[in-house]
Amino acid sequence: MKRGVVWDNILRAGRVPAPRRRVCVLVPALAALALAAILAGCGAKANGDPSGGVPPAAQVIHEQAVDVVKVDHPEQFPLATATEYDAAPKLDVTGVVNPDVSRNVPVISLASGRIIEIDARLGDTVTKGQLLMRVQSADIAQAFSDYRQAMADETLTAAQLARSQLLFDKGAIAQKDLEVAQDADIKAKVTVETTREHLRLLGADTAHPASIVNIYAPVSGVITDQQVTAAAGTQGLASPNAFTISDLSHVWIVCDVYENDLSFVRVNETANIRLNAYPNLRLEGRIDNIGTVLDPNLRTAKVRIQVNNTGMLRLGMFVTATFHGQRKEARAAAPASAILHLHDRDWVYVPAGDGRFHRVGVDAGDMLPGNLQEIRSGIGPGTRVVANALVLENTVEQ
C-alpha cells in the first residue's frame, strides 16, 4: 500500500488530529520569513546605513568660473599685447601737513593785567608790527612811576655834582665830598637806564606814559594758535602764549613709513606730493629727517618732508607722498582702454581660447605716454589682452 493512502486512512479513522498537520505546514513558512529578515538586516549593515536604507549617490555639478566669459564672435574684440616698461619701484604713504616749528613765533605779554582789546583772530594773516591786542597793566603804571622817580633823582644828583665841583674848585670841600657827588650822579644815571629798559621790555613807550600796553606782531605770518579772549587776564610769562604766528611759506609733511619700506627713503632725496583736495596739483619736497625711533606698536618711523607752500597746503591736510626706489623693475604697460575699473579693482580680459576670455585682476599704476597705463602686477609683458575691456564687459552683461 502506498504511503499517501495509508495517511489518508489514518486521518479518516481519527487516529491523528487535523491541527497537527497545519502546524507542520506553517513551520517551514515562518522559517523562510525569518531568514529573509536576517539577510535584509545584514545587507543594510554591509552598506553602512544605520537606518537600514541605502542613500542615493552624491551628484557634483560643475559650474563655469565667474571670471571666465564666453562669446559667440570673439573676433569682434581686438587684442593688444602688453609691452615692457622699465619703472623704478614706488612707495605711496599718507602724510599730514604740519607747520615748520622753526618758523613758529610765540606772541606774549610780559606785563600782567587785563586784556581790553583784541585786534586779531585765529587764522588771520598778519604782518610784522601789526597791533594784536592791548593790555591794561598795573606793572606798566609801577614801571612808569619808577622811571619818573629815577629821572628826578638824576636831575638832583646832577645839580649836586655841579655844585660840589664848583665848591671843590674854590677849595671849600674836600676831594672825598666831590667823589661822593660823582658816585651819586653815576648811580642815578644807571637807575634811569634800568627803568627805561624795563618799560621797553614791557612794551611801553617812555614818550607816552600810560597804564595800557600795545602788543604787536613780531613777524609776518598766519595766527595758528590763540589762547586769549577779550576781558581775560594775563599773567605775563606764567600764562600760555597769547598767539602763535607761523610762517607757512614752508611746511612739513610728516609720514609714517613701515620699517620694511624704509629702504625707499633717504635724507635729502625728493618725494612727490599729491593732494586729496587738488588731485591735479603736483608738488615736490625734500626728505629732511627720518626718525631714529620706531613706534613700538605700529613698527613705523616718522619721515619728515620739507615743502614750499604755494598757498594750497593747509595745516592738518592729508596728502599722499610718493618715494622712489633706486633700482628699476620691468613691468607691463597696456592701453588704458584695456583696463576695466570694476568693484574698486582693476581688471583685464585675457583670451583663453574657444571664444572664452578670462578676467584677471591687476594693479594699475600711472598713466604713460601714448595712452598707455602701467600695470604693476597681475600680468607681465607680452600678455595678450582685450584692447577695449569695457565693450566686452557691456556685451557680457547684455
Averaged pLDDT, 64-79: 82
Q: Identify the burial level of 113 via C-beta atoms within 10 angstroms of its C-beta, where 0-12 means exposed, 13-18 middle and 19 or more buried.
A: buried
Q: Is the pLDDT confidence value at 41 over 60?
A: no
Can you tell me the distance from the alpha carbon of 297 to that of 258, in angstroms, rounded to the nearest whole number? 11
Q: What is the pLDDT of residues 191-241, one digit of tens each?
A: 999 999 998 888 888 888 888 888 899 999 999 999 988 888 888 777 888
**pLDDT given at position 54:** 56
- Name the one residue in this structure whose C-alpha cell is 664848583: 166
Are β-strands 300-308 and 282-290 bridged in parallel, bridged antiparallel, or unpaired? antiparallel
Can you tell me the distance from the alpha carbon of 22 to that of 11, in angstroms, rounded to the nearest whole number? 13
Q: How confident is the model at residue 50 (pLDDT cuts 50, 70, 90)?
A: very low
**pLDDT given at position 5:** 46
Q: Is the pLDDT confidence value at 28 over 80?
A: no
Closest CA to 103 of 304, 246, 225: 246
The C-alpha cell that represents 92 in the structure block:
605711496
Q: Could you give the 3-state DSSP secondary structure of residue 120?
A: coil
Q: Is the pLDDT confidence value at 350 over 60?
A: yes
Q: Between these two residues, 397 and 143, which has the higher pLDDT value?
A: 143
**pLDDT given at position 146:** 93
The C-alpha cell that represents 216 in the structure block:
604787536
pTM of the entire predicted model: 0.58
**pLDDT given at position 240:** 87
Q: What is the pLDDT of residues 302-345, one digit of tens each?
A: 999 999 998 889 999 999 999 987 777 788 999 999 999 988 89
Q: Could you give the 3-state DSSP secondary structure of residue 242?
A: coil
What DSSP state is assigned to residue 74? G
Q: Could you give the 3-state DSSP secondary structure of residue 394?
A: helix
Can you tell me the distance from the alpha carbon of 103 to that of 93, in angstroms, rounded to the nearest whole number? 25
CA angle centred on 177, ends 171 and 180, rounded to 5° = 145
**pLDDT given at position 233:** 84
Averaged pLDDT, 53-72: 59
Residue 191 host element (H or E): helix 175-202
Averaged pLDDT, 85-111: 89
Q: How confident is the model at residue 20 (pLDDT cuts 50, 70, 90)?
A: very low
